[in-house]
Chain A
Amino acid sequence: MENQKLVISPAPHVHGKNDTRRMMGDVLLALLPALVVSVLAYGWQAFVVVAFSVACCVLVEWFIQRFMLRGENTIGNLSAIVTGVLLGFNLPANIPLGLVAIAAVVAIGIGKMTYGGLGKNPFNPALVGRVFMLVAFPVAMTSFPEAVGAVSGATPLAMAKEALKAGAPVSEVLQSVNFADMFLGAKSGSLGEISVVALLLGFGWLLVRRVISWHIPVCVLGTMALFSGIMWAVNPAEYMSPLFHLLSGGAVLGAVFMATDYVTSPMTKKGMVIYAIGIGAITMLIRLWGPYPEGMSFAILIMNALVPLIDKWVRPRRFGVVKTQK
């Protein structure tokens, strides 16, 4: 037979459905319900902040890739868009757009491209941006507009922290919070974190599409619940209940969308569990005894720094290798 031109390549000759673009697209889809709730709660300004953040992140990545790293265009992998949305989610809805631009430059420019771009950054870029803003512009970052249905402009966490510090008993703080509202999204906070139910919907989507596994989110939230549960059981008059901690602040947004960032989380399931427990514990330490009402961002960044160590010491279970010495 005439040998026509045939492709020669090593096995395997077929590929699965996994694809970076598809997975990033799934993350964006999973973030959509939270964005919708945010627009309902804060109006179109919430959408403007997110859209502007995305635009800035994409522009910064394109610029650095084109003129500084001189590499191929990387916008197509959608990761800059994901970072842009997550960065926007971590900002108040009424933040001046100039500050959003600064946050984007720090997130993508310093948090990601400095290390060489996608896959090489040790820290979650969106959180690098957020924490920089928290330190540099503390007032703009913590004065939230009043969300529709929320009792005040203060976040439940900040309110509880202030009240408890001033010596008010927990029962009094509880009078001004409503768990159902906190679950649905009628509370103050960064624009993407307010609706727990919307974020959980996104979590479900990520699980169904096998983008992430349950390990990190469940272990982060489980650790927070256990930690706060113990303190609450010991002294219910001074410590808020686990439910309050899970429903407030960036607990769910952080556990589901920030801590699970592929690049900055461990490579083995066991490693993921250790990393997640660390995040949960550090978050609670900061929330209960630290200077900030919320500690999720710091906790994730601290554990990001430990990921190389975790990956070095925690190995997958090898087939046919028994650890115990005879």
Chain B
Amino acid sequence: MKTFPIGGIHPSDCKEYSKDSAIERFPIPEIVTIPLAQHIGAPAVACVAKGDRVLVGQVIATAGGFVSSPIHSSVSGVVKSVDMTADAQGNLKPSVTIGVEGDEWVESIDRSKEIAKNINLTPQEIVAKISEMGIVGMGGATFPTHVKLSIPAGKKAECLIINAVECEPYLTADYRVMLELGDRLLVGARILAKAIGVDKIYIGVENNKPDAIAHLEKLAGAYLEVEIVPLKMRYPQGGEKQLIAAVTGREVPSGGLPIDVGAVVQNVGTALAVYEAVAKNKPLFERVVTVTGSTLKEPKNLLVRIGTPMSALIEYCGGMEGVGKVIAGGPMMGRAVSNVDAPVTKGTSGVLLMPTEESLRQKEGVCIRCAKCVEACPMGLEPYLLSKLTQNGDFEELERHYIADCIECGCCTFSCPSYLPLLDWVRIGKAEVMKRIRERAAAKK
């Protein structure tokens, strides 16, 4: 069975908590707080003011540039403020706060249940639609999707890969989408393929989800261009470079982009959002969020309006009892939350609660040169060395050892028997090296 070529780890997948709970529509809250920067790139610019009435799906902020994305209201009601509010980490970010009144949608959205299969738009029209509807990568990176679909001059896309790996432990949102909304997902994938002009679609799924593989295979029967690729379970298979290598056998060159090997990767949630945007005219204002953890009474997969406070989801699933840490996203790459009242955004794939006893790190020991980190690194780097060089401030040497290739997957810290915070150091070193690379590039111009 296929998988990526080097490194990787096998964390216990912990998906049993929420994998069997069907996607449930979360009640619309009384107030939503919608941040204007929910994507990588320039923040969107608010185009509503306090007191304005808005409808579900109405634009409330326009894209702040090419690498940016517009923001739509997830509720109907009255704008209470356009101001700075605290995000999940407590940093103040520009947001629009809306008091909810009813649930009135803009008329252009097609709310019928039937599945639109034939899309008669040109590739340019599809990309424009995706941009207009505020679609961003929903696996967590939140890169604006229309940018990823705009193939640079001189490059050619050869295949579309749908990232259905969901290799983060605990998370099951993509899995539920595959099982419950697989038909829409496939149409979304075909729309994406048309946008980039390819006639080959791979859907990479790990073999710990045999029912999803079987279900998608059945649904894809009619589409000859779609191939479901079962992958051997291994973290971080959902890393873009790892997934491309696993599916096609090609390695994205160091410092390069997926398109350099002819691949465009889109996540399951993104493909679903693309279907809704292009076929149903529905902007991205809600998403499936896994709310899970061993302390919760009822872990769930919830369809949530963007801007709903995470605390409301937690309350809904059983509350904060025995919880020591809240994570937005999965346990390997998600970010710890200090403000649980912060809103769900386009990139929130999960809200994970860790019990108090699993929240603190173990005491740090010394490096015994066991080489487990080198063995685990999926990019073939030497985390022990990068960590040491960062502590020594030797940034030239760090760059020579490919620190810029680090994908911050956490395999090194996960594997270290001495509990060294390897990735913490590597992140610091990488940030400094990236800064130097950018400065050099700017100086050349």
Binding site for B on A (CB under 8 A): 1, 3-4, 6-16, 18-20, 22-23, 77, 79, 117-120, 262-269, 315-322
Residue in A closest to B412 when the chains form the complex, CB atoms: A12
Q: Which 9 A-B pairs have the closest CB atoms?
A: A12-B410, A1-B311, A18-B417, A318-B380, A7-B359, A262-B370, A7-B325, A320-B251, A13-B331
Chain A residues in 8 Å Cβ range of B169: 14
Report yes or no: B315 in contact with A267, Cβ–Cβ below 8 A. Answer: no
30 A-B residue pairings within 8 Å (CB atoms): A1-B315, A6-B323, A6-B324, A6-B326, A6-B340, A8-B325, A8-B338, A9-B325, A11-B333, A11-B334, A12-B333, A12-B410, A12-B423, A13-B327, A13-B336, A14-B331, A15-B419, A18-B370, A22-B417, A118-B366, A262-B370, A262-B371, A269-B375, A316-B374, A319-B245, A319-B379, A319-B405, A320-B254, A320-B256, A321-B254
Chain A residues in 8 Å Cβ range of B418: 20
| Cα–Cα distance between A20 and B354 once the two chains are bound (Å) | 24
Chain A residues in 8 Å Cβ range of B414: 12, 14-16
Report yes or no: B336 in contact with A119, Cβ–Cβ below 8 A. Answer: no
Cβ of B53 within 8 Å of any chain A Cβ, yes or no, is: no
Residue count of chain B within 8 Å CB distance of chain A: 74
Chain A residues in 8 Å Cβ range of B11: 14, 16
> Within the complex, what minimum Cβ distance (angstroms) separates A91 from chain B?
25
Residue in A closest to B365 when the chains form the complex, CB atoms: A20
Residue in A closest to B14 when the chains form the complex, CB atoms: A14
> Within the complex, what minimum Cβ distance (angstroms) separates B264 from chain A?
17
Report yes or no: B359 in contact with A16, Cβ–Cβ below 8 A. Answer: no
> Within the complex, what minimum Cβ distance (angstroms) separates A61 from chain B?
14
Given contacts A16-B11, A23-B417, A262-B369, contact A6 B405 (CB under 8 A): no
Chain B residues in 8 Å Cβ range of A9: 325, 336, 360-361
Report yes or no: B402 in contact with A318, Cβ–Cβ below 8 A. Answer: yes
> Within the complex, what minimum Cβ distance (angstroms) separates B13 from chain A?
11
Given contacts A11-B410, A267-B385, 12 further A-B contacts (CB under 8 A): A6-B340, A7-B360, A8-B89, A12-B410, A13-B327, A16-B11, A18-B415, A118-B366, A264-B369, A317-B6, A319-B251, A320-B405
Cβ of B139 within 8 Å of any chain A Cβ, yes or no, is: no
Chain B residues in 8 Å Cβ range of A264: 369
> Within the complex, what minimum Cβ distance (angstroms) separates A82 from chain B?
11
Highest count of chain B CB atoms <10 Å: which of A3, A117, A263, A317: A3
Cβ of B362 within 8 Å of any chain A Cβ, yes or no, is: yes
Chain B residues in 8 Å Cβ range of A79: 368
| Cα–Cα distance between A117 and B368 once the two chains are bound (Å) | 10
> Within the complex, what minimum Cβ distance (angstroms) separates B262 from chain A?
14
Residue in B closest to A213 when the chains form the complex, CB atoms: B375
Report yes or no: B327 in contact with A318, Cβ–Cβ below 8 A. Answer: no
> Within the complex, what minimum Cβ distance (angstroms) separates A12 from chain B?
3
Instruction: Select A320's contact among B252, B327, B362, B424, beta carbons within 8 Å.
Output: B252
Instruction: Select B371's contact among A120, A268, A322, beta carbons within 8 Å.
Output: A268
| Cα–Cα distance between A290 and B429 once the two chains are bound (Å) | 49
> Within the complex, what minimum Cβ distance (angstroms) separates A131 from chain B?
21
Given contacts A10-B423, A119-B366, contact A319 B371 (CB under 8 A): no
Given contacts A10-B423, A13-B325, contact A1 B314 (CB under 8 A): yes
| Cα–Cα distance between A18 and B384 once the two chains are bound (Å) | 15
Report yes or no: A267 in contact with B368, Cβ–Cβ below 8 A. Answer: no
Cβ of B318 within 8 Å of any chain A Cβ, yes or no, is: no
Chain A residues in 8 Å Cβ range of B326: 6
Residue in B closest to A266 when the chains form the complex, CB atoms: B371
Cβ of B427 within 8 Å of any chain A Cβ, yes or no, is: yes
Given contacts A23-B370, A118-B368, A267-B369, contact A319 B378 (CB under 8 A): yes
| Cα–Cα distance between A237 and B341 once the two chains are bound (Å) | 84
> Within the complex, what minimum Cβ distance (angstroms) separates A6 from chain B?
6
> Within the complex, what minimum Cβ distance (angstroms) separates B246 from chain A?
12
Chain A residues in 8 Å Cβ range of B413: 12, 15
Residue in A closest to B360 when the chains form the complex, CB atoms: A7
| Cα–Cα distance between A268 and B253 once the two chains are bound (Å) | 22
| Cα–Cα distance between A16 and B327 once the two chains are bound (Å) | 18
> Within the complex, what minimum Cβ distance (angstroms) separates A267 from chain B?
5
Chain B residues in 8 Å Cβ range of A120: 366
Given contacts A3-B340, A319-B378, contact A13 B354 (CB under 8 A): yes
Cβ of B183 within 8 Å of any chain A Cβ, yes or no, is: no
Chain B residues in 8 Å Cβ range of A15: 361-362, 413-414, 419
Chain A residues in 8 Å Cβ range of B340: 1, 3, 6
Report yes or no: A262 in contact with B368, Cβ–Cβ below 8 A. Answer: yes
Q: Mark B231-268, 1 if CB is under 8 A from A, else 0.
A: 00000000001000100000111101000000000000
Q: Mark B38-54, 1 if CB is under 8 A from A, else 0.
A: 00000000000000000
| Cα–Cα distance between A29 and B73 once the two chains are bound (Å) | 62
Residue in A closest to B376 when the chains form the complex, CB atoms: A16
